[in-house]
Amino acid sequence: MVRKTLFCIIALMLMFGASFTVAQDSELSLRALAERDNFYVGAAVYTTHLNDPIHVETLAREFNMLTPEQQAKHCELEARQGQFDFRGFDRLVAFAEEHNMAIHGHALVWHSCTPQWVENGDYTRDEAIGLLRDSIMTIVGRYKGRIPIWDVVNEGITDSGAALRDTPWRRLIGDDYIELAFQFAHEADPDALLFYNDYGTEGINPKSDAVYELVSDFVARGIPIHGVGLQSHFTIGGFDANQIARNVERLGELGLQVQFTEVDIRHSGEATDNILQRQAGDYYRLMDVCLANDACTAFITWGVTDKYTWLRGANLGFYNNPSVQPLLFDDNYQPKPAYFAALDSLARKVGETPVLSDDELTAMIGGTAQTVEIPPQIGRAH
Ligand code: 9MR
């Protein structure tokens, strides 16, 4: 039997159109499988992406949740105090409604996208509380009953986990700006699920312990909080799935939901076959952790196509790779090994015929996928 890499197999099938058939088959889209399990698969989207017909088609076919990547942030919506511009956000909401997708609102309070008038504002505590309330009531209130989930506070804890981050609203109001933001969001839409969202908090570590303490305290004191977002910006091989499972478990035991809110899995250099296979193994493990616990209700990738990933333009100091391919679909919207891995995890969860053979899955998870047999299921017309 001829042995080929999984990447070659998929490339061959793409050449003959077979795997496109798989992705086109509504029975086998991420979305269709997720909906059989009351689960969400989401993607971050810019309003401008809606001008790209292939993007629109892929998004609506594969995802049942959408996170505005930029257009729902406070600095975008209220650049000048009291003057709101909802045009971009409205377009995303209309698109989501037209395609029966849920919106994961992101983010009401974030230090990196707080309007200048707040950053530079010279307000008393009471004035600042009034301004925070006005902004949240206007934004959340506008979409009352239409946006089921909001990231209320994003990245409010320092990387060491030792303290709350020094942010504009905290400087004006004090440590309780976080709980006030949750209370105002709840007042604006009592049915919306309110999340605290952060990075580096996926596994068990001092920072995720700090998040756990913050949200435990909120739960104990009746502050309206319903979930924790784990951003999940990873490097290949850079997470311990067992630890993430334990973290999801302890948050779930508080009665909170968990969502993997900004998943991407980066690498250095060009994306070789081996890199794409290891990446697929990571996507499988991560999706599996989420699906294994009912508290985990969504798996959201930070973009649809590698073409538009924020990581290509980012110069993070520790990371700069303009050719990174961190998502499920390549630059031409073709599904990558990572896509089939995520699809397979979902298929197994809902009792659908697996997309990958057991042998191939084992090889992919073990990082030895170069030597697996051609998986008969991939590319088979359904
Ligand atoms: O991907 C987003 C990028 O396009 C924006 O320029 C940037 C600044 O608003 O925000 C990026 O998204 C961030 C998200 O909102 C919060 N977690 C980290 C994400 C990547 O920086």
The confidence score (pLDDT) of residue 27 equals 60
Number of the ligand 1 atom closest to the C-alpha atom of 302: 1
Residue 137 corresponds to which amino acid?
M
Question: What are the tens digits of pLDDT across the range 279-324?
Answer: 999 999 999 999 999 999 999 999 999 999 999 988 888 889 999 9
Best substitution site from 69, 159, 198 to test ligand 1's pocket, by max atoms within 8 Å of Cβ? 69
Distance 373 CA to ligand 1 centre (A): 40
Q: Quick one: what percent of the chain has pLDDT higher than 70?
A: 89
Q: What's this model's pTM, rounded to 2 decimal places?
A: 0.91
Ligand 1 atom 12: the closest Cα is on which residue?
69
Per-chain mean pLDDT for the chain:
90
Catalytic site residues?
155, 262
Find out whether 349 and 364 touch, Cβ atoms under 8 Å.
no
Q: In this structure, what token pair is assigned to residue 209? A: 């312990």
Binding-site residues, ligand 1, Cβ < 6 A: 69-70, 73, 112-113, 154, 231, 262, 310
Q: Which is the closest atom of ligand 1 to the Cα of 310?
A: 1
Which tokens in the block code for residue 49?
A: 């992406």
Residue 9 has pLDDT above 60, yes or no: no
Q: Minimal CA–CA distance to 245: which of 182, 291, 282, 184?
A: 291
pLDDT in tens, 296-308: 999 999 999 999 9
Rounded Cα distance between 265 and 241, Å, is 14
Residue 16 has pLDDT above 50, yes or no: no
* 242-247 contact pairs (CB < 8 A, 24+): 243/202, 243/203, 243/204, 244/202, 244/203, 244/286, 244/289, 245/289, 245/292, 245/293, 246/203, 246/204, 247/201, 247/202, 247/203, 247/204, 247/208, 247/212
Whether residue 338 is preceded by a cis peptide bond, meaning omega within 30 degrees of 0, is no
- Nearest CA among 236, 333, 245, 252 for reference residue 294: 252
CA of 255 to the centre of ligand 1 (A): 28
Quote the pLDDT of residue 369: 57
Residue bearing the CA closest to ligand 1, atom 5: 70
**72 C-alpha vs ligand 1 centroid, how far in Å?**
11
User: Per residue in 334-381, pLDDT tens?
Assistant: 999 999 999 999 999 999 999 998 888 888 888 665 533 333 333 222
Pocket test for ligand 1, best of 45, 76, 112 (most atoms within 8 A of CB): 112
How high is the pLDDT of residue 138?
A: 98
- The stretch 133-155 carries a mean pLDDT of 98
Residue 368's pLDDT is 67
What is the pLDDT, as a whole number, of residue 115?
A: 98
